[in-house]
Structure 1
Amino acid sequence: MALPKAYRLKSRQDFQAVFREGIRRHSSHFTMRALKPVISQNPSLDTVLATALTPTKFGISISTKVSKRAVIRNKIKRQITAALHRLLPKIAPGWRIVLVVKPKTAESQCGSQKFLQELEQLLVKTEVLHGHS
């Protein structure tokens, strides 16, 4: 099950902005790049509402270094997406996040439950989850 379109990071410019300006967090299977929502010095009510209503957008980057086989790369992406689906209600709005999958992920045969735990820890480190549990 794919992420809803509103939660997907699509354009090349968005990915480049996250890689250029985003903060980095690492775990054993992922590197997360996260770009905070921009709130100006003189925020008008419209700007604050627009940022609050913009959902957090995710991009998943998985190279052929992880696996030469597209079947394996797509399986890993589906597991990550399933984990993100469970976390969506807890995530603060307005962020842009890119998850880069590390090459050792394909070797470790871990499932979406392990991905869920790691993603939750990374999101807490970056203060993206509501309540920062």
Structure 2
Amino acid sequence: MALPKRYRLTSPKEFSRVYKAGRQASTNHLVVKCIEPPREQPNLGCSRFGITISQKVSKHAVVRNRLKRQVRAALQSLMPRLRQNFWVVIVLRSGAIECDYWQFLQELEKLFTKLEVCDGY
């Protein structure tokens, strides 16, 4: 299931802003970068997310799309615990092919807590 549009980073400008100015935390499988959105952006009252995966991870689009779906599902189960008003980019590393939904869920929770995007408990 796709994230609703209001929860997505959509423009390359938004992605590059997160890449340049964002705080970062990583594991062997994921890199998470986040920033608070610029003041000139309208406050939507929710955090917005982007997921990227390089062709270096897998040449097969089917594999890359499956990994993104698993990360999206893990992200949606963490949504109620996430703090509002962050821009977050999740980058999948080559080791992500070995992961399943539960590993993505654990790693995202750990990284979000470290970056103070998620309330840890």
The TM-score, its normalising length taken from structure 1, stands at 0.84
Residue 54 of structure 1 and its aligned partner are, at CA, apart by: 2.4
Identity of aligned residues (%): 41
Residue in 2 aligned with 1:114?
A: 103
State the partner residue of 2:2.
2
Q: What is the match of residue 89 of structure 1?
A: 80
1:63 maps to amino acid: S
Corresponding residue of 1:11: 11
3-state SS in 2 of match to 1:99:
strand
Partner of 1:80: 71
1:54 to 41, 45, 57: 45
How far is the alpha carbon of 1:55 from its aligned partner? Answer: 1.0
Paired residue secondary structure (1:77) = helix
- Structure 1: any 5+ residue segments left out of the alignment? 40-49
Q: For residue 62 of structure 1, what is the amino acid of its counterpart?
A: I
2:25 is aligned with what amino acid?
A: R
TM-score normalized by the length of structure 2: 0.92
* Two-structure CA RMSD over aligned residues (Å): 1.7
For 1:117, give the aligned amino acid.
Answer: Q
Count of residue pairs brought into register by the alignment: 120
Structure label with greater radius of gyration: 1
Aligned to 1:127: 116
Aligned partners of 2:51 and 2:38: how far apart in 1? 22
How much does 1:30 deviate? 0.5
- Kindly state the Cα deviation for residue 28 of structure 1 after the two structures are TM-superposed: 1.7
Q: Which runs of 5+ in 2 are unaligned?
A: none
